[in-house]
């Protein structure tokens, strides 16, 4: 989709390139991460308001390090080079870059030494986050130094006439506390952006684009009840109404009454043509006696495709498109010197292993968005909080939270325990601070006493973590009174459980899920 105002981010392989995009978009300015070697002519045609050159792990003087088209500095478009991007700017414009006497990683104090629109409104002494071995030794002609640190005499440089800037530190990370203000200055003071990219406009533009693309054809969507597929369903329905057909596969391993909630919301409230495949018995029959987690996942994945395909065939005579909840991080082309560009997703796509007789054109209305932006779209479309703020839920469902054999009785125990975990934590005013929380049914039993009777029953573990992206996580310090309520309710209300444990391991070395 075309945007009238945007900033281009050329990716040189930094692990935090996506953070640059997040910080820019937080300012209501649209931006895209694109290839490091995007030709200047292409950028001229697409006319971004600004260009950012990201950081990266390579050394600029090396012959095989990723370079940019030198002509981008002659387009008259403001440029900001970050870390490797600053070194690349200097190198390309006939300055010099050499290995530093001392590598610099971590927090550093920087002093602003010259007037710059990039630092307007900031105090002269700032904490920044450095992560570099090389540094600029000689600036190109026409550049001036505007900031320094003890180990980096050229911590920031600029060519004021050409609107080209470079910073040796990373303004996009939280360890540079005023970095957000610097990026704001670049977007608004230097690039003259209006900052009018809002979710309401995104929805309006996408609804029009979907209608134009789909025309009189129909779209099939696999609805899981998760955030992404739910928002896709709401957006497609707003655009094409009864031309959308959703298939929801109930594998018998969902949370308590989840299928009924989905039917009530999407079928009744939204009026979407929803086809529910109740296949719990089929899934359980195939999982009987299986305790290996990888085998569970494989069986569930294969069976899901079979069930979904069977439903899809009943609609395939009128369906041309398959909707998918692809997000921006899934489609960003990696230009890391380690990875190389990723393969472009084909528009005529055999999605998720569907049989050859069920190939559809792909429609991905969320492919420009990060997760938090998807949630904002969902709110704008009127989806309730329990959908847009829903936590990550594993594809195999409760199968990977039941350690060992899966039986209808064990599913019921876990559903009831998990319900009470969620109910008690959601009573907390700050429950949205907890990234994920759930119950796990362990494959052991323990001795207990209930009344005057000895019991020998199941053990439930409670897992709650805090995280920003799920890549790393710390166990969440739930208040004791909340843990007390969870334990009391599970033991007293869930038949077959006499002991509750709290998981206090972080990721790494543990994973968030148990299997």
Q: What is the pTM of this model?
A: 0.80
Distance CA 317, CA 315 (A): 6
Say whether 85 counts as a known binding-site residue: no
Q: Flag whether pLDDT at 296 surpasses 60.
A: yes
pLDDT for 380 equals: 95
Residue 83 is among the residues annotated as catalytic for this protein: yes
Q: Are 327 and 428 in a shared domain?
A: no
* pLDDT the model gives residue 100: 60
Please indicate, yes or no, if residue 133 is contained in any of the structural domains: yes
SS3 for 398-437 is HHHCECCCCCHHHHHHHHHHHHHHHHHHCCCCCHHHCCEE
Flag whether 11 is in a domain. yes
CATH number of the domain where residue 230 is located? 3.40.50.620
Condensed to tens digits (0 to 9), the pLDDT of residues 273-288 reads 999 999 999 999 999 9
Q: Is 385 annotated as a binding residue?
A: no
424 is catalytic: no
* From 132, 159, 170, 237, the catalytic residue: 170
Domain identity same for 49 and 162:
yes
Same domain, 214 and 344: yes
For the stretch 439-443, contacts whose Cβ atoms lie closer than 8 Å and that sit 24 or more positions apart, written own/partner, are 439/401, 439/414, 439/463, 439/490, 440/401, 440/402, 440/403, 440/414, 440/503, 440/514, 441/401, 441/402, 441/403, 441/410, 441/413, 441/414, 441/417, 442/403, 442/501, 443/291, 443/403, 443/404, 443/405
> H/E element holding 180?
helix 179-184
C-alpha 367/C-alpha 329 separation (Å) is 8
The residue out of 161, 190, 219 marking a domain boundary is 190
Pair (258, 378) in one structural domain:
yes
Residue 3 annotated among the catalytic residues of the structure: no
How far is Cα 83 from Cα 398, in angstroms, rounded to an integer?
Answer: 44
Confirm or deny that 230 is annotated as ligand binding. Answer: yes
> Which of residues 352 and 275 earns the better pLDDT score?
275
Nearest to 499 by CA among 510, 509, 507, 491: 491
**222 labeled part of a ligand binding site:** no
Is residue 414 domain-shared with residue 435, that is, in the same domain? yes
Residue 494: which domain range?
401-502
| End-of-domain residue from the set 155, 170, 190 | 190
CATH at 458: 3.30.300.10
On whether both 274 and 367 belong to a single domain, the answer is yes
Please report, for the domain that includes residue 42, its CATH number: 3.40.50.880
pLDDT at 330: 75
Mean pLDDT, the chain, rounded, equals 90
Q: Which of 58, 68, 83, 152 is catalytic?
A: 83
**Residue 182 belongs to some domain of the structure:** yes
Percent of the chain with pLDDT over 70: 93
500 marked as part of a ligand binding site: no
Find, among 391, 376, 412, 375, the residue nearest to 476 by Cα: 391
Q: What is the pLDDT of residue 2?
A: 62
Task: Report whether 353 belongs to an annotated binding site.
Answer: no
Flag whether 224 is marked binding.
yes
Instruction: Give how many domains the chain has, as a whole number.
Output: 3
Helix axes 480-493, 408-425, angle to 10 degrees: 150
142: left (phi over 0), alpha (psi -120 to 50) or beta: left
pLDDT the model gives residue 469: 67
Q: Provide the 3-class DSSP secondary structure of residue 220.
A: strand
Q: Which residue has the tokens 């190109």?
A: 140
For residues 339 and 436, membership in a common domain is answered with no
Cα–Cα distance for residue pair 2/29, rounded to 1 Å? 13
Q: Cα 298 to chain center, whole Å?
A: 24
Examine the domain organization and report whether 143 and 203 are in the same domain: no
Count of beta carbons in the 10 Å neighbourhood of residue 92: 19
Catalytic residue among 5, 104, 172, 373: 172
The token duo for 225 is 């009840």
Q: Look at residue 123 and tell me if it is in a domain.
A: yes
């Amino acid at each position: 989709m075309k945007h009238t105002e945007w900033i281009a981010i050329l990716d040189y392989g930094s692990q935090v390139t996506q953070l640059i995009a997040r910080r820019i978009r937080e300012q209501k300015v649209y931006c895209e991460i694109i290839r490091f070697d995007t030709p200047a002519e292409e950028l001229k045609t697409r006319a971004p308001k600004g260009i950012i050159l990201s950081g990266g792990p390579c050394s600029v003087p090396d012959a095989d390090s990723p370079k940019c088209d030198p002509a981008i500095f002659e387009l008259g478009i403001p440029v900001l080079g970050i870390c490797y991007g600053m070194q690349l700017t200097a190198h390309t414009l006939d300055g010099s870059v050499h290995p530093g006497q001392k590598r610099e990683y971590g927090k550093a104090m920087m002093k602003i030494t010259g007037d710059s629109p990039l630092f307007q409104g900031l105090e002269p002494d700032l904490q920044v986050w450095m992560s570099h071995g090389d540094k600029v030794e000689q600036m190109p002609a026409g550049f001036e130094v505007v900031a320094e640190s003890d180990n980096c005499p050229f911590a920031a440089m600029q060519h004021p006439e050409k609107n080209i800037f470079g910073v040796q530190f990373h303004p996009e990370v939280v360890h540079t506390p005023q970095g957000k203000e610097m990026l704001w200055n670049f977007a608004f003071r230097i690039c003259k952006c209006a900052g009018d990219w809002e979710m309401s406009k995104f929805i309006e533009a996408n609804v029009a684009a979907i209608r134009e693309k789909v025309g009189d054809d129909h779209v099939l969507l696999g609805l899981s009840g998760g955030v992404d597929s739910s928002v896709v369903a709401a957006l497609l329905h707003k655009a094409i109404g009864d031309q959308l057909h959703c298939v929801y596969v109930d594998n018998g391993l969902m949370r308590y009454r989840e299928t009924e909630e989905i039917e009530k919301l999407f079928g009744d409230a939204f009026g979407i043509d929803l086809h529910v495949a109740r296949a719990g018995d089929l899934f359980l029959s195939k999982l009987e006696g299986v305790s290996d987690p990888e085998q569970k996942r494989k069986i569930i994945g294969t069976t899901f495709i079979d069930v979904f395909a069977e439903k899809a065939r009943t609609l395939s005579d009128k369906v041309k498109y398959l909707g998918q909840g692809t997000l921006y991080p899934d489609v960003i082309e990696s230009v890391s010197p380690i990875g190389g560009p990723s393969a472009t997703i084909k528009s005529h796509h055999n999605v998720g292993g569907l049989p050859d007789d069920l190939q559809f054109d792909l429609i991905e209305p969320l492919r420009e968005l990060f997760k938090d932006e998807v949630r904002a779209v969902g709110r704008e479309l009127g989806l309730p909080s329990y959908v847009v703020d829903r936590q990550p839920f594993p594809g195999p469902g409760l199968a990977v939270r039941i350690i060992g054999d899966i039986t209808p009785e064990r599913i019921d125990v876990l559903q009831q325990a998990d319900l009470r975990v969620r109910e008690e934590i959601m009573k907390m005013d700050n429950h949205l601070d907890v990234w994920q929380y759930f119950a796990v049914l362990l494959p052991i039993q323990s001795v207990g006493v209930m009344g005057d009777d000895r019991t020998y029953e199941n053990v439930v573990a409670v897992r709650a973590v805090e995280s920003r992206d799920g890549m790393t996580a710390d166990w969440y310090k739930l208040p004791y009174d909340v843990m007390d309520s969870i334990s009391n309710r599970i033991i007293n209300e869930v038949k077959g459980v006499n002991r509750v444990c709290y998981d206090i391991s972080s990721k790494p070395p543990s994973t968030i899920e148990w299997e």
